[in-house]
Amino acid sequence: MTVSARIAPLPDTQRAEFGRRLHALRRARGWTLAELSERSGLAVSTISKAERGLMSLTYDRMLQLARGIGVDMAEFFAADGTAFAPGSFAVASKGNFERLETRNYVYEMLFPQIRNKAMVPMMGTLKAHDLMDFDDFVRHPGQEFLMVLEGAVTVYAEGKAPVTLRQGDSLYFDSARGHLYASAGAQDARILVVCTEMESTVP
């Protein structure tokens, strides 16, 4: 079975659920869309569409919203959760994740019930495209690890020549540098990504 054959379209209900959680977090603070826009740096129209389930947000925009609201990003995916504590030991069985789909990526957020993680681990699928379908580079504070599990991936980074990674290849970089991942073949690619908010010490 190919990677593409395993990818089912994202139900509108998943975008709607994300939107409901975002809306509830904003209203719990008594903020208007304009106030959250000012705090997060995202346009009112973007937040409004996300709340109504009309669009899915990229990782960097989700992080902006989480920081603007003052919550762990995991709260967008799981209503209940507990903070990671010293001595914690959590196991996730295969298929245990929260899923969110954008035009180009399918995010599988691992351990969404654990708050305040030092790392944000994600599995993902990069949709095969004939042409690049991105508005802009993704960039966010921290460091990022990428490993290709299936297929091939081309990584585009600001100021760097494109790099193509194949199954088993990996990359570690400062995620404040604008970056994009794209399937390098005719089929979807599977990846493992781990993000941290640790600032890079490299000038």
Give Cβ neighbours of residue 70 (< 8 Å, ≥ 6 apart). none
- In the numeric block, which tokens belong to residue 98? 């929260």
Give Cβ neighbours of residue 142 (< 8 Å, ≥ 6 apart). 175, 176, 195, 196, 197, 198, 199, 200
Q: Terminal CA-to-CA distance of the chain, rounded, Å?
A: 45
pLDDT at 134: 61
Nearest C-alpha neighbor of 193 from the set 178, 174, 171 = 171
Span 10-76: which CATH code? 1.10.260.40
pLDDT in tens, 31-62: 999 999 999 999 999 999 999 988 888 888 99
pLDDT at 165: 97
pLDDT at 202: 46
Domain ranges for the chain, please list them. Answer: 10-76, 118-196
pLDDT at 55: 86
What is 118-196's CATH superfamily? Jelly Rolls (2.60.120.10)
pLDDT at 9 over 60: no
For β-strands 114-115 and 170-174, DSSP reports them as unpaired
pLDDT at 7 over 50: no
- Does the fold of domain 118-196 match that of domain 10-76? no
E strand or H helix at 149, and its extent? strand 143-150
pLDDT at 199: 56
pLDDT at 87: 94
pLDDT in tens, 69-118: 999 888 888 778 889 999 999 999 988 888 877 777 788 999 989 998 99
